[in-house]
Amino acid sequence: MAAVKGPGAAQKHDGSGLRIAIVHARWNETIIEALIGGAKNAMLASGVKEENIVVESVPGSYELPLAVQRVYAASQIQSTASTVAGGMGNLASGIGDLLGGSNSTTDLQGSLQPGPPEADKKEDKSLKHAFDAVIAIGVLIKGETMHFEYIADAVSHGLMKVQLDSQIPVIFGLLTVLNLGQGLARAGLDGGSGKEATGHNHGEDWGNAAVELGVKKKGWSQGKIAAS
Ligand code: DLZ
């Protein structure tokens, strides 16, 4: 039977070619950590490689929209830099071929590729393209003042703006809960009581959403819609 409430069964998508960022606030750390764990587990289960999940943190949820925007921009810079570096590598080996492997060739290649000798370098197998999706994670717990309302509103609108302006999927991982128990329950942690007893870890849904949107967005960029 179809699910009455919630996201329903997660669609299956191959996340092995995806690079995904998690940007999280540090307020309410226990809940945050469980949500990050849930998001990561779901992505790993869909084939996203550990080295292609990048995690960045900010003090509180209010900082999330700017951080998501800047982290995505940083990944675009990395992508361009790695393309240029790849080109330089090709240029160096091309010059090496032209010069026929003399000593001067070695010097030239060395100057174009600074750093430790190849054998000493750890192989970095991580993808370098711009992030396919970013998950923003924060936990806002209502207090006695209006702080909660202002932050929740600003962050929700801010994340949507970043998503549309940057044209990348920004997964909304902001819990806006009335008390600690609600927060713990939504991170799959035991801590609530009654209706708030241990619940489903919403981080898993966010990880699945990031993979689905990352894969679909790649397809949409190539003019592919659904099964076409
Ligand atoms: C100030 C504040 C308060 C009261 N509550 C929370 C919260 O429940 N969750 C959260 O992520 N951040 C909270 N913050 C911090 C703000 O998000 C922000 O980091 C500061 O106001 C500094 O800009």
Q: What is the pLDDT of residue 102?
A: 40
Question: With pLDDT > 70 as the criterion, what percentage of the chain qualifies?
Answer: 80
More confident of the two residues 84 and 101: 84
Mean pLDDT of the chain: 87
Asked if residue 151 has its Cβ within 6 Å of ligand 1, the reply is yes
Q: Which of 21-30, 71-80, 117-126, 127-136 has the lowest mean pLDDT?
A: 117-126
Contact 163, 131 (CB under 8 A): no
Q: What is the pLDDT of residue 38?
A: 98
Contact 56, 137 (CB under 8 A): no
Asked if residue 62 has its Cβ within 6 Å of ligand 1, the reply is yes
Alpha carbon nearest to ligand 1 atom 19, residue: 60
24 is catalytic: no
**Burial (0-12, 13-18, 19+ Cβ within 10 Å), 172:** middle
Asked if residue 147 has its Cβ within 6 Å of ligand 1, the reply is yes
- Fold for domain 20-78+127-221? Rossmann fold (3.40.50)
Domain edges within the chain:
20-78+127-221, 80-120
Query: Over the stretch 197-228, which tens digit does the pLDDT of each residue have?
Result: 668 999 999 999 999 999 999 999 999 998 65
Ligand 1 center to 97 CA (angstroms)? 58
Contact 47, 17 (CB under 8 A): no
Q: What is the pLDDT of residue 116?
A: 63
| Helix (H/G/I), strand (E/B), else coil: 140 | strand
Which residue of the set 129, 147, 157, 200 is catalytic? Answer: 147
Q: Which atom of ligand 1 is nearest to the CA of 145?
A: 4
In single-letter form, the type of residue at position 123 comes to E
Alpha carbon nearest to ligand 1 atom 12, residue: 60
| Helix (H/G/I), strand (E/B), else coil: 163 | helix
Structure tokens that stand for 121 in this block: 């370098």
Q: What is the pLDDT of residue 139?
A: 98
Average pLDDT over residues 68-77: 98
Candidate from 62, 68, 150 with most ligand 1 atoms within 8 A of CB, to mutate: 62
Asked if residue 67 has its Cβ within 6 Å of ligand 1, the reply is no
What predicted TM-score, i.e. pTM, was given to this entire model?
0.84
Structure tokens that stand for 133 in this block: 């999706």
Query: Over the stretch 134-171, which tens digit does the pLDDT of each residue have?
Result: 999 999 999 999 999 999 999 999 999 999 999 999 99
